[in-house]
Amino acid sequence: MPSPELPIPSVRGGAPVGAPSKITQGSRARGGVGESTLRPDGILKVTGEFAYSSDLWHEDMLWGQILRSTVAHAEIVSIDTSQALATAGVYAVMTYDDLPTGVRNYGLEIRDTPVLAHGKVRHHGEPVAIVAADHPETARRAAARIKVEYRELPVITDEASATAPDAILVHEGRDDHHCGHVPHPNIVHRQPIVRGDVARARRRADVIVEGEYTFGMQDQAFLGPESGLAVPEEDGGVHLYIATQWLHSDLRQIAPVLGLPEDKVRMTLSGVGGAFGGREDLSMQIHACLLALRTGKPVKMVYNRFESFFGHVHRHPAKLHYEHGATKDGKLTHMKCRIVLDGGAYASASPAVVGNASSLSVGPYAVDDVDIEAIALYTNNPPCGAMRGFGAVQACFAYEAQMDKLAKRLGMDPVEFRQRNAMEQGTLMPTGQPVDSPAPVAELLRRVKAMPMPPERQWESSEGPDVRQLPGGLSNTTHGEGVVRGVGYAVGIKNVGFSEGFDDYSTARVRMEVINGEPVATVHTAMAEVGQGGVTVHAQIARTELGVTQVTIRPADTRVGSAGSTSASRQTYVTGGAVKNSCELVREKVLEIGRRKFGSCHPAWATAGLLLEGGKVVTEGGEVLGDLADVLEEEVVEVEEEWRHRPTEAFDLRTGQGNGHVQYSFAAHRAVVEVDTELGLVKVVELACAQDVGKALNPLSVLGQIQGGTTQGLGMAVMEEIVVDPRTAKVRNPSFTDYLIPTILDTPTIPVDVLELADPHAPYGLRGIGEAPTLSSTPAVLAAIRDATGLELDRTPVRPEHLTGTA
Amino acid sequence: MDFLRPASWEEALAAKAEHPTAVPIAGGTDVMVEINFDHRRPEYLLDLNRIVDLYEWETGAESVRLGASVPYTKIMENLRAELPGLALASHTVASPQIRNRGGVGGNLGTASPAGDAHPALLAAGAEVEVESAARGTRLIPVDEFYTGVKRNALRPDELIRAVHVKKADGPQQFSKVGTRNAMVIAVCAFGLALHPATRTVRTGIGSAAPTPVRAGAAEDFLNAALEEGGFWDTGKIITPSVAKRFADLCSAACNPIDDVRGTANYRRHAVGVMARRTLTWTWESYRGARPAPEGAA
């Protein structure tokens, strides 16, 4: 973990690559910024006592159930709800025709997703009808009695079928803001980026490597399935208790469908069991509200695990074609790539994922001449959207494979090759945007390489082989036979915050008052705590900025302004920034009150730079001017303010040029794997990570984010994939029996080296950290498996049949 | 759905005779998953949890009579010496929570080709004790028990009471391939038992054919090769060509499918690798444990 006396790192004895930030106000606050204060929800979650949204309960509540399509692409010939309605205990059955207003679609950016299917279903598991009943089993059975007659259509499943001359349009009559610049209506969005002169740069290349890479469909696999409770209110409105990532984005999509003004749809965040992007889109929110308003009763909805696989978007699967050139001395000459993302049946976050995939497709490297194209398709596959890493993950898998290929062709060490091409502060992105804060890419690689290697043959013991240390684990497939060790490296770049000109603000209401003689701060935001530890950080910021011990964090709801989404690694930066900003304004007001009351008593009141420390007003020199209790007495100071990071610009639709990103986050991994080369089974022995976090507001949470992201990337490397049948576009493994995520035995030792180089533009110099470790983990594991097996491995996740020639 | 709760084995048999469609439930680790997924909706559930005898086991001279509901955890903890193959297989079943609830009776009742106990039972040699109110008890050799995908030799009025597993007279091994290092359903599995008393080797293959199967031709080949070469007497290392031929014949005994968990080709290949490795491991143990030459301690 970071120590307070961090040496300022430099690369190869050159100039420093950055420096840690300094904090003056509240630097002595206990439980303030930089401390590993414990999360309030931690113990409850470990002991199973935490109340998730699926635990919500209301007297007289009904249970809602969705009927989903059993086919991927079909016209709906008829829907017969009569038997469902006739079922005892059923209060309501609703289809598209029962929707109360003309607004019948929703969507994050493009409103292309029907609340309930109308005339057509476009993917397996699309909601067709909803039922409310007095018992969940009754609701399920009634839904099963709804008769839907489908006339099946051919399925569109890939680029070839989507752009064929006679391809059926997944969406007829598009009028969204991307439809004008896409080459085909089955392409959601296309972003080219052209910079320099690739044809000329290509001639300088001594080696050129090409690769065609395939990235599978990953699921967020959050543990708490989609759930919530809608309670009708006396004024005709509704109160929705919900697990989501962004209350106000939900609100903007829900209210018009219900035909209610936004102030009549009240939303309170309920216990969220993980998100990872999968709760950016709506799931059961509108359905529960519709049923509650229709029946006049509270309606609870909870997906089971099977339904959850159909209830949220997944990570875009991708095909990536890359070409890189390099000179003999190991300098990249150019890069050409084409990234095809499968967005599935509805747009969700596809346009922004395209923006990320294209603008981050070069990786953390300096390349002047690039020719990039990224597109997202409309198909009849499951809809894909936000997931941790958001477009940067797929690209990182491909460009890091390319880096290893180039190093091999040049006979260079793969880390050395990467360091020679690593971007640094001042490097231009392919979009022309300069990187204007520390970018210690080479230093992260150096650190991760310098970590001690895990010992060889750790399975050997005096009592025979410890199979838990071997590929196959407890399944007892090897006692060391066929096992080969491999080592691989990868590094990645992720943008932080919402990009491309989005007005990415947050709001914080901070209040300060004296209760029982003690100064107390209250922080109220609409930030969705999804497990990232944001509420802990807010309390730390308030302690640091206001010099108080007691901080109350109010539950997140829509009675305060929007906090933006808990995604894009942005909440500590943006809502943390908003809390810091509102605290600073409160501090100024408190000092004004003090000056007004006591300014005449002591000349120091008139000086600038007064601090709040330990419940007192002090000078920079540490002289106490007065107790906050005496300054405030009965007065209450409250501020609600929006806060924004630096604005960004859209990318030019032809050239991709533009200052599109706010900040970047960098992590590097070294993977050590042991592969049973005969059975194709993999044990990841260690995944060492070095990451620059700018400033660790809560070092323990930082460690948790890095270890969690690393493990999610490991899952993508060796096991996690939603398998869709290419003939039917139906999901084949919607369960945790067949969609595997790493168990603790699959999770390796994860030594973490945290670097804290301040970004001068960000609060406390911090960097958003949640996503970067997910990027480089996957390609590092793949590189290590390639090292062990000598195989090319151009797809992830890698399965035993790929390692044994038995696919 | 009616929930029948017999207090005794006799009541359970009577209930099964009266309601032949009743689905017996003990640990519920298979049945409840099927019900929760709405894959089946039995008219009657026959709860066997009150029948304490089903949780007992007895170790006899030749075999262990293992009650149908003895949880896998108990097998791992108490029967490692007598039933080493089954104990190893038990350790690979799902999670600790599932191993505390599930037992071999459920694996046999479900008769999924992916059931972890089957290869170990086939390799060790076992008989399934089933009973009906009308016809009393019969013992079904485990080789004849599996009749199709998720089908077994039980008649509608019969219940599984116990399984009689031969006590190990030599080393046994169990291997299972899954794409995760714990808590994983078998892509394929292999059990192997040496029986020095009868100078035979038995095998069991899981998840690589419509039913759990023995690799008969492989066993015959290996038994003959070991006999002809005098391996049982000398304890010499098995010739690599013999091990390879055995492995190839085990692969050939598979009749797998491509599915979401793995390809047919991979299953055939992996069964061969596991066959060779488990043969090597058991044979190494056998050589190490053989009565030493005269005079030695």
Q: Using the beta-carbon criterion (under 8 Å), do B176 and A719 form an inter-chain contact?
A: no
* CB-CB contact of B141 with B65 (8 Å): no
| pLDDT tens figures, A700-724 | 999 999 999 999 999 999 999 999 9
- Check whether A512 has a pLDDT greater than 70: yes
pLDDT bin (cut points 50, 70, 90) of residue A167 is very high
ipTM entry:
0.96
Cβ A719–B174 below 8 Å, yes or no?
Answer: no
Residue B260 and residue A738: Cβ atoms within 8 Å? yes
Which B-chain residues 236-275 have CB contacts (< 8 A) with chain A? Answer: 260-263, 265-266, 268-270, 273-274
pLDDT digits 0-9 by tens, B9-18: 999 999 999 9
Residues B181 and B145 in one domain: no
Architecture of domain A53-153+223-274+279-311: Alpha-Beta Complex (3.90)
Q: Which of B139, B166, B193 is the last residue of a domain?
A: B166
Does residue B135 sit in the same domain as residue B198? no
Q: What domain range is B218 assigned to? A: 172-289
Q: Tell if the CB–CB gap between A475 and B181 is shorter than 8 Å.
A: yes
pLDDT on residue A17: 80
| Cβ–Cβ contact B228 with A under 8 A | no
pTM of the model: 0.96
Please tell me the distance in Å from A440's CA to the nearest CA on chain B: 35
- The pLDDT, as a whole number, for residue A94 is 98
Residue A7 has pLDDT above 70, yes or no: no
Confidence check: pLDDT of A31 > 90: yes
**Cα of B261 to nearest chain A Cα, Å:** 7
| pLDDT, tens digit (0-9, with 9 covering 90-100), for A390-444 | 999 999 999 999 999 999 999 999 999 999 999 999 999 999 999 999 999 999 9
Q: What is the DSSP string of chain B?
A: -EEE--SSHHHHHHHHHH-TTPEEESS-TTHHHHHHTTS---SEEEE-TT-GGGG-EEE-SSEEEEETT-BHHHHHHH-TTT-HHHHHHHHTSS-HHHHHH-BHHHHHHH--TT-SHHHHHHHH-EEEEEEETTTEEEEEEHHHHEEETTEES--TT-EEEEEEEEPPSS-EEEEEE-SSSSS---SEEEEEEEETTTTEEEEEEESSSSS-B--HHHHHHHHHHHHHTTHHHH-PPPPHHHHHHHHHHHHHT-----BTTB-HHHHHHHHHHHHHHHHHHHHHHHHHHSPPPTT--
Q: For residue B277, what is the nearest residue in chain A, using CA coordinates?
A: A478
Answer yes or no: is B8 within a domain: yes
The contacts of residue A496 (CB under 8 Å, 6+ apart) are A568, A569, A570, A573, A661, A662, A663, A664, A665, A767, A768
Contact present, A278 and A722 (Cβ < 8 Å)? no
Specify the pLDDT at position A1.
40
Do A737 and B36 lie within an 8 Å CB cutoff? no
* Domain containing residue B197: CATH number: 3.30.390.50
pLDDT at A592: 96
Note the pLDDT of residue A721: 98
Whole-number pLDDT of residue A2: 41
Same fold across A314-499+650-804 and A505-644: yes
DSSP 8-state code for residue A604: G
How many domains is chain B partitioned into structurally?
Answer: 2
pLDDT at A8: 52
A83 at interface of B, judged by CB pairs closer than 8 A: no
Does the pLDDT value for residue A18 go beyond 90? no
| A723 vs B contacts (CB less than 8 Å) | 260
Which of B37, B179, B281 lies closest to A719 in CB terms?
B179
A 704-743 → B contacts, CB under 8 A:
718-719, 723, 732-733, 735, 737-738, 740, 742-743
pLDDT by residue (tens digit) across A741-790? 999 999 999 999 999 999 999 999 999 999 999 999 999 999 999 999 99
* Whole-number pLDDT of residue A10: 55
Do B58 and B193 lie in one domain? The reply is: no
% of chain A with per-residue pLDDT over 70:
98
Is the same domain home to B68 and B136?
Answer: yes
B214 shares contact with chain A (CB less than 8 Å): no
- Is some CB atom of chain A closer than 8 A to the CB atom of B84? no
Identify the band that residue A9 occupies on the pLDDT scale cut at 50, 70 and 90.
low
Q: Kindly state the average pLDDT of the residues A296-307.
A: 97
Answer whether B148's CB lies under 8 Å from B118's CB. no
List, for chain B, all residue ranges whose pLDDT scores fall below the cut of 70. 291-297
Count of CB contacts below 8 A, A vs B? 102
Q: Sheet containing A207-215: which strands, arranged edge to edge?
A: A187-195, A369-377, A332-342, A318-326, A207-215, A795-796
Of A738, A745, A800, the CB nearest to B181: A745
Q: Which helix (H) or strand (E) holds A239?
A: strand A238-242
Mutate to test the interface with A, among B112, B116, B173, B181 (most CBs of A within 10 A): B181
Distance from CA of B277 to the nearest CA of A (A): 7
Q: Return the pLDDT at A15.
A: 62
For the A314-499+650-804 domain, the top CATH level (class) is alpha beta
Q: Are residues B82 and B149 in the same domain?
A: yes
Q: Residues with Cβ < 8 Å from B288, sequence gap 6 or more?
A: none
- Distance CA(B157)–CA(B160), nearest Å, equals 10
Predicted pLDDT at A330:
98
CATH number at residue B27: 3.30.465.10
CB-based contact, A746 to chain B, within 8 Å = yes
Q: What is the pLDDT of residues A203-222, one digit of tens each?
A: 999 999 999 999 999 999 99
Beta strands in A270-317 (DSSP E): 299-302, 314-315
Q: Is B38 on the interface with A (CB under 8 A)?
A: yes
The per-residue pLDDT for A5 is: 46
A336 has a pLDDT exceeding 70: yes
The yes-or-no verdict on residue A632 having pLDDT over 80 is yes
State which CATH number among 2.60.40.2550, 3.30.365.10, 3.30.565.10, 3.40.605.10 fits the domain covering A505-644. 3.30.365.10
pLDDT surpassing 50 at residue A4:
no
Facing B266 at nearest CB: one of A732, A744, A800: A800
Q: At which of B124, B144, B166 does a domain end?
A: B166
Q: Average pLDDT of A488-501? A: 98
CA of B142: how far to CAs of A579, A787, B50, B120, B155, in Å?
Answer: 68, 45, 26, 11, 15
The whole-chain average pLDDT of chain A stands at 96
Would you say residue A339 has pLDDT above 80?
A: yes
